[in-house]
Structure 1
Amino acid sequence: MLRVLYLVHDLSDPAVRRRVLMLRAGGAEVTLAGFRRGENRLAAVEGVVPVELGATQDARFAQRLAAVARAGATLRQRLAGMARPDVILARNLEMLALAGRAQGIFGGAVPVAYECLDIHRLLTGKGVASRGLRAAERHFARKAGLLVTSSPAFVEHYFKPLSGVRAPVHLVENRVLELDGPAGDLPPRAKQAGEPWRIGWFGAIRCRRSLDLLAAFTRRMEGRFEVILRGRPARSEFDDFDGLVAREPFIRFEGPYRNPEDLAAIYGDVDLAWAIDFFEEGLNSAWLLPNRLYEGCRHGALPIVLGGTETARLAGLRGIGIALRDARLETLVTRFSAFDGDSYRALHAALARLGPKPWIHDRADCAAFVQRLAALRAPAAEPAPVPSLLASKVDCHDH
């Protein structure tokens, strides 16, 4: 059984739980270590009790760097008694830095995979700080044998032209975990006459511009559309998130949810899924393929996407969803002014024809991912060198 040490920047991130589930379903034994973010309490992830490396705060980059430095100084004690892993999977740049330290603790020959699912704006700039961060990424990634990312656009727009990371790339999209495969086709949809159309915005609620746009839109439509928020608000991005939502007559926040256990219920409660994000506008937001795209499509909620983004490109290739040419209020109002049951049924039929398979990871996908990590190990009969960074082949595992 492959032993994986998974180093993460936020132990309470739902995406961390999904990755642990994926690794374990693929046959790996997982040790989880990372930082507590803010006041989020630590909890076992499917029976995996995490090793806490310290606490960090959202949107405080300098504080996070200091926490990583402290963790590096005490990492040997925190990992004492742990069995030597076969692979270290490091999520985000700060954990990649700690992976090098962990390599030394375990003897230096443990291969490292760098998991990067978001590109922070500081990594893309031309200033001294940005160049310094990219230099740090190149330095720490020199010992990485694999780059795990979730969107081809991250490779095209950042990793190839800017980053200097030369590890082979393995694409793992943010699909829904359904380990035993889909239980059935997409369920039929029906809406009672007179009920509002419901837009679901689920997951990381971090985009103030989206909230402002949806607030203005629902007010303009005078209740024909409602917005339901669920997930984890990034409160550092809002002056008063609860107050903002409370003041909106057609928007409500319904708290966190479990992924994937609650997805069918929460997406079954909405007609459309908001798959637009301006948090890193023109950069990460244009390049990512968000969880909510896959979740909504898997459970029959039509995605609303923004033209010119990787999300819109994928939706267009598959002939689904509603694409806005720009993010102006008038564009949104015009697109939905004549939206009715016939419009919805035609769009939903196009989504239903694809079925659930393009949007899910099953047990075979999990096993393939674990096997890709296992391939980083040197053959048992040979010394275990640090994996070379000279390979440039992109290994895209995409079903």
Structure 2
Amino acid sequence: MLHILYLVHDLTDPAVRRRISMLHAGGALVTLAGFTRGQVKVARIDNIEPVNLGHTSDGKFAQRLLAVGRALCKLSSTLRNVAKPDVIIARNLEMLALANRASTLGDWNAPIVYECLDIHRMLLRQDIIGRCLRFAERLLARRARLLITSSPAFVDNYFTPFNVLDMPVMLLENKVFRPTASPDQMSQPIATTTPWKIGWFGALRCRRSLELLADFTRRSKGQVEVILRGRPAYSEFDNFDRFVAEEPYLHFYGPYKNPEELAAIYSEVHFSWTIDFFEAGQNSDWLLPNRLYEGCLYGAVPIGLAGTQTSRFLQERNIGFSLHEPTVDALVSLFGQLDEKSFLQAQSNVTAQPREGWECTEKDCRSFVDHLRQLAGSTDKRAIRKIAA
């Protein structure tokens, strides 16, 4: 059985559990090691007891670097009880440094896979800091044999023009994976009556989205409400909880279990908010977020922003709505044209799409692990380029 050492920067990230579930479903044995984040205590993840590499803080880049440095110094002892892996996957740049060190332990010499699902704004700076970080990324990625990323725009706008990495690329979209769900499990569509409800679920980190939705719902005078669920990045807001509590048409219901509760929470909303201004013009314009796939799988109509990769994705499939500008007026115009008939047509356009566009199957997982197995058994980068194309 293929043994994978998975190094992650945030053990509390729900996407980590999804990736591990996919690897398990594909027939791999996984050892998980990573950093804890915030005050969340990490228990077993998909029946794995993770190896704790230390603690990091959200939004504190220098502290994260120090934590990685400490983990590097004691990595051999931290991983002393870990069996030799066939492949090491490093999720994010700082974990790539640890993967390089781990690959030299004992007789491991395991090939490294670089999983990069976001391009941090510091990597895009044109000053000495940005150049140094890109140089470090090139240096650390020299031993990597494969890049996993979730949006083609990351390749088109960063990896290719910046000439950062020379390795095969595997596009692994942020599709929903439900290992225990039956293939025909779906949510019941929400009754098409006002107030219209917009769901903004997942990592809540965009202050501009929060303020825009608050202004719009107040202007709509209760005709539109916003349901928020997930994990707020409190470092990005002045006071998230107080702000939401004072808004009459915003409702925050806390975290949820992913994927177990996705059907239930998306059945409560008409629309899925897929817009993100957190790193506007850069990462936010290039990503294809988890909530895009989750919402469409369960019949929520996505709302995107023109000029972004998400908007292009929607246009290619003739689904959802794209705002021409991120303003209250644009939202007022969109909802002013909506009635039950037009909503049902928009929802029908979403539900008519093939479900494999939103959902990862066990067959996909087996194919993913097979790629990694071939990587472990090959010393030729060109062979991997063929299977990852």
Letter in 1 for 2:176: V
Quote the residue 1:382 is aligned against. none
> Does 2:168 match 1:175?
no
What fraction of aligned residue pairs are identical, expressed as a percent? 52
Instruction: Tell me, yes or no, if the aligned pair for 2:20 and 2:30 is still in contact at 8 Å.
Output: yes
**Higher RCO (C-alpha 8 Å, min separation 6):** 1
Quote the residue 2:298 is aligned against. 299
Give runs of aligned pairs for residues 99-138 of structure 1, distance below 5 A.
99-107=99-107, 109-138=109-138
The whole-number CA distance in structure 2 between the counterparts of 1:363 and 1:315 is: 26
Letter in 1 for 2:327: R
CA shift at 1:167, angstroms?
A: 1.3
> Does 2:345 match 1:352?
no
Letter in 2 for 1:46: D
> What's the CA shift string for 1:361-388, capped at 9, x where partnerless?
0100011111111111135xxxxx5x65
CA shift at 1:28, angstroms?
A: 0.5
Instruction: Tell me, yes or no, if the aligned pair for 1:90 and 1:96 is still in contact at 8 Å.
Output: yes
> What's the CA shift string for 1:261-291, capped at 9, x where partnerless?
1100000111100000001101000000000
Q: Secondary structure at the match of 2:146?
A: strand
Instruction: Tell me, yes or no, if the aligned pair for 2:187 and 2:263 is still in contact at 8 Å.
Output: no
Give runs of aligned pairs for residues 5-154 of structure 1, distance below 5 A.
5-107=5-107, 109-154=109-154
Q: Secondary structure at the match of 2:377?
A: coil
Letter in 2 for 1:113: V
Q: Secondary structure at the match of 1:162?
A: coil
Q: Do the aligned partners of residues 393 and 340 (structure 1) sit closer, same or farther apart at CA in structure 2, a change above 3 Å counting?
A: same
Instruction: Tell me, yes or no, if the aligned pair for 1:167 and 1:391 is still in contact at 8 Å.
Output: no
The whole-number CA distance in structure 1 between the counterparts of 2:190 and 2:259 is: 23
The whole-number CA distance in structure 1 between the counterparts of 2:341 and 2:154 is: 37
The whole-number CA distance in structure 2 between the counterparts of 1:292 and 1:344 is: 19
Quote the residue 2:207 is aligned against. 208
Quote the residue 2:195 is aligned against. 196
> Does 2:255 match 1:256?
yes
TM-score normalised per structure 1: 0.94
The whole-number CA distance in structure 1 between the counterparts of 2:260 and 2:214 is: 29
The whole-number CA distance in structure 1 between the counterparts of 2:265 and 2:248 is: 20
CA shift at 1:252, angstroms?
A: 0.9
CA shift at 1:391, angstroms?
A: 8.0
The whole-number CA distance in structure 1 between the counterparts of 2:382 and 2:304 is: 36
Instruction: Tell me, yes or no, if the aligned pair for 2:84 and 2:108 is still in contact at 8 Å.
Output: no
Q: Secondary structure at the match of 1:377?
A: helix
Instruction: Tell me, yes or no, if the aligned pair for 1:169 and 1:394 is still in contact at 8 Å.
Output: no
CA shift at 1:179, angstroms?
A: 3.8
Quote the residue 2:388 is aligned against. 395
CA shift at 1:184, angstroms?
A: 2.7
Runs ≥4 residues deviating over 4 A: 185-188, 387-394
> What's the CA shift string for 1:69-88, capped at 9, x where partnerless?
00000000000121100000
CA shift at 1:178, angstroms?
A: 3.2
The whole-number CA distance in structure 1 between the counterparts of 2:383 and 2:185 is: 44
Q: Secondary structure at the match of 2:170?
A: strand
The whole-number CA distance in structure 2 between the counterparts of 1:122 and 1:108 is: 32
CA shift at 1:355, angstroms?
A: 4.0
Q: Do the aligned partners of residues 298 and 368 (structure 1) sit closer, same or farther apart at CA in structure 2, a change above 3 Å counting?
A: same
Letter in 2 for 1:248: E
The whole-number CA distance in structure 1 between the counterparts of 2:381 and 2:349 is: 45
Letter in 1 for 2:87: V
The whole-number CA distance in structure 2 between the counterparts of 1:223 and 1:356 is: 33
The whole-number CA distance in structure 1 between the counterparts of 2:337 and 2:20 is: 44
CA shift at 1:353, angstroms?
A: 1.4
CA shift at 1:163, angstroms?
A: 4.7
CA shift at 1:108, angstroms?
A: 5.4
CA shift at 1:199, angstroms?
A: 0.4
CA shift at 1:393, angstroms?
A: 6.6
Q: Secondary structure at the match of 2:162?
A: helix
Q: Secondary structure at the match of 1:300?
A: coil
Cα RMSD for the two superposed structures: 1.8
Letter in 1 for 2:360: H
Q: Secondary structure at the match of 1:176?
A: coil
Letter in 1 for 2:388: D
Give runs of aligned pairs for residues 212-361 of structure 1, distance below 5 A.
212-361=211-360
The whole-number CA distance in structure 2 between the counterparts of 1:241 and 1:394 is: 45
TM-score normalised per structure 2: 0.96
Q: Do the aligned partners of residues 360 and 390 (structure 1) sit closer, same or farther apart at CA in structure 2, a change above 3 Å counting?
A: closer
Instruction: Tell me, yes or no, if the aligned pair for 1:5 and 1:88 is still in contact at 8 Å.
Output: yes
CA shift at 1:332, angstroms?
A: 1.2
The gaps in structure 2 that reach 5 residues or longer are: none
> What's the CA shift string for 1:34-67, capped at 9, x where partnerless?
1011211111001100000000000000000000
Instruction: Tell me, yes or no, if the aligned pair for 1:8 and 1:16 is still in contact at 8 Å.
Output: yes
Instruction: Tell me, yes or no, if the aligned pair for 1:150 and 1:173 is still in contact at 8 Å.
Output: yes
CA shift at 1:182, angstroms?
A: 6.2
The whole-number CA distance in structure 1 between the counterparts of 2:228 and 2:76 is: 42
Q: Do the aligned partners of residues 58 and 190 (structure 1) sit closer, same or farther apart at CA in structure 2, a change above 3 Å counting?
A: closer
Q: Do the aligned partners of residues 3 and 245 (structure 1) sit closer, same or farther apart at CA in structure 2, a change above 3 Å counting?
A: same
Q: Secondary structure at the match of 2:217?
A: helix
